A and B are shown apart, each in its own frame.
Chain A
Amino acid sequence: MIQERIFPTFLKKVTPGPKLWLALGLILSLILVKNTYYAISVMILSIVVIVLEKQFGLFKVILVAMTVLFISMYALHGCIAPNIDKVNDPVMFTIFGIRYYASGFAWATKFYLRVGPMMPSLFVIFLSIDTADLSVLMCKAGIPYNAVFTFIDSFQVITLLNKDMDQIRDAQRSRGLQTEGSLLTRMKAIVPIIVPVVASAIVKVQDQAIAMDTKGFNAKCKKTVYREFSPYKADPYFKWAGIALSVFSVGYKALVSLNVIPAFLTNML
């Protein structure tokens, strides 16, 4: 490329392919090898990496989602999980007459420690991947160009519509739209905000399609991949760590399912 690319943090220097391998390894290991200590370690390490990558500001939204999920899962499953035997299972505590069971706590842990660590770890990995670089990787992997374009453009359009939504919401507020107050007031605010956003996006489609056609989007020739990225010294470590985690997780789960080995790693409390 002509424009020099600057990578301000370590994770951004690693090329997309190895990072996706690591992401795959993390997903498979968290789903297939249900180990509390491993899951908690991944969660803590991910948050440390997020801070080092200077992404904690953006991470706050994910953190809120993780907290809400945590509270919902533990509060509800502790009382109503499907594995609770209300007669025999030990009760951890009772509050306002509602019993909180140890088996419900274990059920909540089983599911939370699958999704909870995934959120910060994948957040920091995917945030460090440039979507344009990802499109290059996908094209090189043989995915059809139109499919790659559609996938990558989704991220672009989300940013654009978000900007439109902010402008429209402010404009409607200045015209007297109430966005705070009772539930009914807030529900009434949906249509005046979202209809203009949707309509303005759809109306531009025809012109955009024609513009893309004149720029050769439907040309039958082989398309050039313009962007290139150079390998980084940490790439092989990420790639092989991801592959090793993936192979180990799948193999471990297969052997446990076939009763070849006992589940010596699984211990969701």
Chain B
Amino acid sequence: MSKPIIELKNYSYRYDNTDEIMLKNLTLSINEGEFIGVVGCNKAGKSTLCKCLVGIQPFVTGGAWDGEIIIDGKSMNETKGEGVSEIIGIVFQDAESQFTQPTVEDEMAFAMCNFGFDRETIRERILYAAKACGLEDLLGRSPFRLSGGQQQRLAVGCILALQPRVLILDESTSQLDPVGRDDIFRLVGELNKQGKTVIMVDHNIEKIAECVDKVLVLHDGNLVAFDDPHKVFADKERMNSHSVRLPQVTDAAIALRDQLDIAADLPVSLEEAVPVFQKLGQEVV
């Protein structure tokens, strides 16, 4: 049983110059090696949560908070966010706006140069990250000449080169086509299999349900659910009342529950749904 790498204890957060509390009394624990999907409607607090986990809010951009966030056993109330970047890396939605260097290789080296790594280590890590993200043949190209999917992979690669234990992706696939999106999910899935903890904010419920160990549902800053996707998506009414739709196969399975005679969990992915719906097809025939 792996130990928690991120813990939130009654954590609340409010932006500067507002009265509205964006995150309300969140208590949860994420174990090392888990793949967490974060879902919720707009303004649910998903991006705010991500920025709080890396200490950007409140320690860099301001704001007020209550409770605490503990990263790898150390409370951020004491560390003030120092040292978090060695454990957690974050990739934002708009990849292109994060690039500042003329080539892919320089871009991957940028963060490591800022943290003072030596040249040999930088070289090794670039080779590792480029291979992991499928960018080995693109090292000499300008980041602005890459496709959307390649840019997002580069954004992941830049953070991966720092070898964080936790990777947070904040809506990284929202600007990508389906092929690019699947690429990113495949990439983070492989990184998770290698032991990295992944926290992914995404609106694509189907991909989230298919890939993650647990789903974290936020609504209006409140924690609505944090559990296995089968348990979370089993309660359709609760999800819909918090503006979260179910995976299509789960929705269909719920509608046909009487005909399907489902003994165990409802399917949440296509792979799980095929044998369940096949039975229905045989009965109809």
Contacts and interface: CB of A to CB of B under 8 A. Distances in A.
Interface of A: 1-5, 130-132, 149, 153, 156, 159-160, 163, 204, 207-208, 210-217, 219, 221-228
A224 B119 contact: yes
Contact of B60 (A4, A213, A221): A213
A51 to B, nearest CB: 26
Contact of A2 (B89, B117, B127): B127
Given A3-B105, A207-B94, 6 more contacts: A4-B140, A132-B103, A204-B94, A221-B115, A226-B106, A226-B109
Given A160-B144, A214-B56, A2 B113 contact: no
B251 to A, nearest CB: 34
B30 interface: no
A132 B97 contact: no
A219 B54 contact: no
Given A2-B126, A2-B127, A215-B111, A224 B118 contact: yes
Contacts of A221: 115-116
Interface string B238-260: 00000000000000000000000
Interface in B86-107: 89-90, 92-94, 97-98, 100-103, 105-106
Q: Which 10 A-B pairs have CB atoms at the shortest separation, nearest pair first?
A: A216-B114, A215-B111, A3-B140, A221-B116, A211-B98, A3-B139, A226-B109, A204-B97, A224-B113, A216-B115
A217 B56 CA distance: 13
Given A156-B100, A207-B92, A210-B56, A2 B116 contact: no
B87 to A, nearest CB: 12
A132 to B, nearest CB: 5
Nearest to A201: B97
Contacts of B226: none
Determine chain A's interface SS by DSSP, over half rule: loop
Given A3-B140, A156-B102, A222-B116, A215 B110 contact: yes
B216 interface: no
B111 A213 contact: no
Contacts of B98: 207-208, 211-212
A200 B62 CA distance: 24
Question: Which of A131, A153, A213, A226 is the most central at the interface, judged by chain B CB atoms within 10 Å of its CB?
Answer: A226
5 contacts: A4-B140, A210-B51, A211-B97, A212-B100, A225-B113
Contacts of A211: 92, 97-98
B194 interface: no
B163 interface: no
B105 A1 contact: yes
Nearest to B57: A210
Among A153, A163, A216, max chain B CB count under 10 A is at: A216
A223 B111 contact: no
A2 B136 CA distance: 10
Contact of B105 (A2, A159, A160, A212): A2
Given A3-B139, A214-B85, A226 B119 contact: yes
